[in-house]
Structure 1
């Protein structure tokens, strides 16, 4: 069963209800942030924006730039990771995400 926080994070990835979802996450951690920074964060987190920034190759940290055709943003599709990871890798990540305190 997903926690409210995990459900909120998932909503961000599928592009729904970003501001309310960000508010839920912030409330979970007892943070209070004004509306304008949340709107800017929402805009910067849009798939098209992240893809454009990544393709520009202008990150200060070289590990953030694409290499070996391995983009960080990928295709922007739910479940797209299944085409890039092994079954063992997926099982490993599922275990980590389902047991965040272990």
Structure 2
């Protein structure tokens, strides 16, 4: 029973990831219902944020980045990588302990 639920959850996750990739490939489509443009724009903005297109557009904008801003971004990226590695190391240690039965 639990295995079936886990498989269903994994397949839903895979479908969701596939759906977001297709949205990025096809673009985002929003229907305007009852001439309510504000609601359609809000929905489009939410879809853009969730699919990551907004981030891609922001990264694609060509503009001059000051050296001080580059240093700040580099420092943030480095901190993010270090946190990610530390978290991965901690999770691996926990999983190893569980597998070994400690």
TM more than 0.5:
no
- The two structures have a TM-score, normalised by structure 1, of 0.34
Structure 1 or 2: larger helix share? Answer: 2
For the pair shown, which has the larger CA radius of gyration, 1 or 2?
Answer: 2
- The two structures have a TM-score, normalised by structure 2, of 0.34
